[in-house]
């Protein structure tokens, strides 16, 4: 392993361990070693968070541990981001309006998806929880969103996502829609006309990237 | 065996005897307001209307449990924050609009509410209007007495709270201790007011589910306060507790077993686990002395047709019917407030057809 790979792996491990100080230090070292900040984010921070998500799915890590990892990841991002070349952030990916469907206050999952999209380079516009269809659509128009990401954890709130999709179409907005949350499935996403579905936060990024390439 | 009334049926199960058929607890809360043509929000904001809706729904469908009051975000209002009642589109239960704790200092300054006649904190005042009606009709007074962990997770900003699990354990314990003191006050007040044999505390919540918290986290931050409250319940002479470990709590079961063991309690728990916990696992863990409720997948009542709902209930009954200390057919969490009445009929029809004991 080259010293560059070693450093990135250390960064990824520090994210997994949730060690904020170490993450900030390693991010500084990466810059000093001349590593491209975009690469450091993707192969250090992003990779670390992907492993964290995987460990969550396997019940090896739980939400408090993930939140610690997220704080550590942001400590590294704070160091690395100011050094990104302007067109690297956001342009490759896009702007995403993210929120929880109307009537629903479950926002832990949404926040994890938000973090993963953030570290993957998306510009994030967080509209919060219990968000009306109008607010989603207005916000998407206002920021010229490429993507709208919606989370719903209840059978009562998931039915409200379709209103957002219809609203976007009515306004002829370009934003593609991805949906997720415990009661959502690919077939439900298809039924309401969403462009993508992800079962977890890693998939959310994968699906978003695919839609952006298309 | 002749037909029993609902009261006789529940009494038989609680006494460890066989009733005529498996009783049904549809865990129907917000749903009941459909029956009486009132908005869902009234269930939570008006104790008398809440009683009326539940009482009428119970009589119309003929199920076996009486009205109760509670919701997952209990605590914030009582401890100085704010909640909103579910009158908006898509809403299904009260939600927090302002957390009482947003900093360590807030946690330090948090005051434990007292329970006094005419001055009950937050939603307990609303709930007591319902309890008075329950007492009048000789129905158990089912008040919320936990869980400390879930209440604390909404008294404080939830993300902050979850970060404190690893970053600020001392502050977290202070917060949990204060919230458990609130529940101790509730237990003492209602046991005193209605008599320990007339009350049935309701303990449970989703935030300690293993989709959020590790079993190690449960042991350190949920279990000690459960022990504290259940000791209080035992000391007050209360004999029955309704337990609802919401969602996937499979990894926490060893601790739930320990609560009884460590206090050597002689009363009865009624367990209502989420659909993630196989009925047989519940029987193995608690069946020797406690009543097991079913755990039919709740969203299915909203999304699946009547026939499929009957089938799901049949399967659940067959799994639990012969549990040694009794079984009650139930969904694994609240019956969906927007599900149509034929789906509740599916539970009743399944109990009649597949739940008879002769
Ligand atoms: C914690 C919790 C709460 C907390 C929420 C705190 C918060 N700020 O979020 C509190 C205590 C407040 C709560 C309240 C209630 N809850 Co609750 N709650 C839960 C619980 C246990 C965990 C949810 C969670 O955070 N999981 C962890 C996260 C990480 O997982 P996740 O959200 O699924 O997200 C992952 C994926 O789904 C995906 N994902 C999520 N969003 C998106 C979006 C996109 C675009 C993509 C691609 C992917 C994606 O990625 C994430 C990471 O892997 C669930 C049970 C469950 N199994 O989900 C019940 C649950 C959701 N709650 C339920 C209920 C009924 C309620 C209440 C109505 C109860 C009541 N009567 O008071 C209230 C709701 C009030 C309201 N107005 O909304 C039910 C919903 C039933 C239904 N299907 O309709 C559940 C399923 C419990 C159950 N078994 O019945 N709850």
Q: Give the pLDDT score at B2.
A: 67
- Alpha helices, H only, A18-147: 20-32, 37-40, 47-57, 63-80, 108-119, 133-142
Does one domain contain both A51 and A10? yes
Does one domain contain both A76 and A97? no
**Domain count of the fold of chain A:** 2
Measured in degrees and rounded to the nearest 5, phi and psi for residue B293 equal: -100, 160
Looking up residue A157, the CATH number of its domain turns out to be 3.40.50.280
* Contact status, residue B313 vs residue B329, Cβ threshold 8 Å: yes
Q: For ligand 1, atom 81, which residue shows the shortest CA distance?
A: A154
Edge-to-edge strands, sheet with B202-205: B202-205, B240-245, B268-271, B291-293, B327-328
**Sequential DSSP letters for B113-132:** PP-BTTB--THHHHHHHHHH
Does one domain contain both A126 and A70? no
Residue B70, Cα to own-chain centre: how many angstroms?
Answer: 7
Whether the pLDDT of residue A88 is over 80: the answer is no
ipTM of this complex prediction, to 2 decimal places: 0.95
pLDDT band, very low/low/confident/very high, at B7 (cuts 50, 70, 90): very high
What would the mean pLDDT of B87-106 be, rounded to a whole number? 96
A153-157, B12-16, B176-180, B204-208: least confidently modelled range: A153-157
Q: Give the pLDDT score at A175.
A: 98
Give Cα separations from A158 to A163, A164, B336 (angstroms): 10, 11, 13
Does one domain contain both A50 and A16? yes
* Burial class of residue A71 (count of CB atoms within 10 Å of its CB; 0-12, 13-18, 19+): middle
Does one domain contain both A64 and A128? no
Distance A154 CA to ligand 1 centre (A): 7
CB contacts, 8 Å: A132 with chain B: 89
SS3 state at B39: coil
Task: At A63, list the tokens.
Answer: 């939400």
**Domain count of the fold of chain B:** 1
Residue from A153, A196, A212 whose mutation best tests the ligand 1 pocket (most atoms within 8 A of CB): A153
Does one domain contain both A66 and A14? yes
Q: Which residue in chain A has the smallest CA separation from B169? A: A64
Indicate the average pLDDT of chain B.
97
Give tens-digit pLDDT for B155-177. Answer: 999 999 999 999 999 999 999 99
Q: Containing H/E element for A12?
A: helix A3-17
Distance A106 CA to ligand 1 centre (A): 5
Helices (H) and strands (E) in chain B, counts: 16, 7
What would the mean pLDDT of B293-312 be, rounded to a whole number? 96
Q: Give the pLDDT score at B281.
A: 98
Does one domain contain both A70 and A105? no
Give tens-digit pLDDT for A159-207. Answer: 999 999 999 999 999 999 999 999 999 999 999 999 999 999 999 999 9
Please give the model's pTM, rounded to 2 decimal places.
0.97
Give domain status of residue B139, yes or no: yes
Looking up residue B35, the CATH number of its domain turns out to be 3.20.20.210
Task: Give the C-alpha separation, B93 to A30, whole Å.
Answer: 49
Give tens-digit pLDDT for B29-88. Answer: 999 999 999 999 999 999 999 999 999 999 999 999 999 999 999 999 999 999 999 999
Could you say which of A89, A121, A138 is where a domain stops? A89
pLDDT band, very low/low/confident/very high, at B99 (cuts 50, 70, 90): very high
Task: Give the C-alpha separation, B235 to B230, whole Å.
Answer: 8
Give domain status of residue B1, yes or no: no
Does one domain contain both A30 and A125? no
Q: What domain range includes position A144? A: 92-213
Q: For ligand 1, atom 53, which residue shows the shortest CA distance?
A: A200
DSSP assignment letter at B66: -
- Residue bearing the bigger pLDDT, B214 or A155: B214
What would the mean pLDDT of B270-288 be, rounded to a whole number? 98
Token pair 């209930």 is at which residue?
A: B313
Q: What domain range includes position B340? A: 6-354
């Amino acid at each position: 392993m080259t010293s560059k790979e070693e450093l990135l792996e250390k960064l990824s491990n520090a994210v997994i361990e949730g060690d904020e100080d170490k993450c900030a230090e390693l991010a500084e070292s990466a810059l000093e070693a001349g590593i491209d900040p975009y690469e450091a984010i993707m192969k250090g921070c992003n990779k670390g968070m992907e492993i964290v998500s995987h460990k969550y799915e396997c019940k090896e890590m739980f939400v408090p541990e993930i939140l610690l990892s997220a704080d550590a990841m942001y400590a590294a991002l704070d160091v690395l981001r100011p050094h990104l070349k302007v067109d690297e952030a956001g342009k490759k990916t896009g702007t995403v309006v993210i929120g929880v469907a109307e009537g629903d206050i479950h926002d832990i999952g949404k926040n994890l998806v938000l973090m993963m999209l953030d570290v993957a380079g998306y510009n994030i516009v967080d509209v919060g929880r219990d968000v009306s269809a109008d607010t989603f659509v207005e916000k998407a128009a206002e920021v010229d969103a490429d993507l709208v990401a919606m989370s719903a954890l209840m059978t009562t709130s998931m039915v409200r996502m379709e209103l957002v999709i219809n609203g976007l179409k009515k306004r002829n907005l370009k934003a593609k829609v991805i949906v997720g949350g415990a009661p959502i499935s690919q077939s439900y996403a298809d039924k309401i006309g969403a462009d993508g579905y992800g079962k977890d936060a890693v998939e959310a990024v994968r699906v978003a990237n695919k839609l952006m390439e298309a | 065996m002749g037909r029993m009334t609902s009261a006789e049926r529940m009494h038989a199960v609680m006494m460890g005897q066989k009733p005529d058929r498996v009783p049904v607890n549809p865990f129907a809360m917000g749903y009941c307001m459909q029956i009486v043509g009132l908005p869902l929000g009234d269930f939570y904001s008006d104790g008398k209307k809440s009683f009326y809706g539940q009482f009428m729904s119970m009589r119309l469908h003929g199920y076996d449990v009486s009205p109760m009051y509670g919701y997952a975000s209990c605590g914030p209002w009582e401890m100085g924050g704010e909640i909103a009642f579910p009158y908006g589109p898509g809403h299904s239960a009260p939600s927090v609009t302002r957390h009482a704790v947003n900093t360590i200092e807030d946690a330090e300054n948090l005051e434990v509410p007292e329970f006094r006649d005419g001055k009950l904190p937050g939603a307990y005042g609303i709930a007591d209007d319902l309890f008075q009606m329950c007492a009048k009709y000789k129905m158990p007074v089912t008040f919320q007495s936990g869980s400390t962990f879930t209440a604390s997770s909404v008294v404080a900003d939830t993300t902050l709270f979850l970060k404190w699990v690893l970053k600020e354990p001392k502050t977290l314990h202070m917060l949990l201790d204060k919230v458990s003191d609130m529940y101790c006050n509730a237990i003492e007040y209602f046991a005193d007011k209605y008599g320990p044999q007339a009350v049935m505390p309701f303990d449970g919540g989703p935030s300690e589910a293993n989709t959020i918290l590790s079993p190690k986290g449960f042991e350190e931050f949920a279990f000690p306060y459960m022990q504290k409250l259940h000791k209080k319940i035992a000391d007050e002479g209360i004999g029955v507790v309704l337990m609802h470990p919401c969602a996937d709590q499979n990894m926490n079961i060893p601790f739930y077993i320990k609560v009884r063991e460590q206090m050597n309690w002689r009363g009865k728990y009624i367990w209502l686990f989420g659909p993630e916990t196989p009925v047989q696992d519940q029987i193995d863990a608690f069946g020797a002395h406690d009543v097991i409720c079913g755990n039919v997948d709740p969203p299915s009542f909203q999304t699946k047709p009547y026939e499929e709902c009957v089938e799901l209930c049949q399967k659940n009954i067959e799994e639990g019917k012969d549990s040694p200390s009794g079984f009650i057919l139930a969904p694994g969490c609240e019956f969906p407030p927007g599900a149509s009445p034929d789906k509740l009929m599916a539970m009743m029809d399944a109990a009649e057809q597949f739940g008879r004991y002769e």
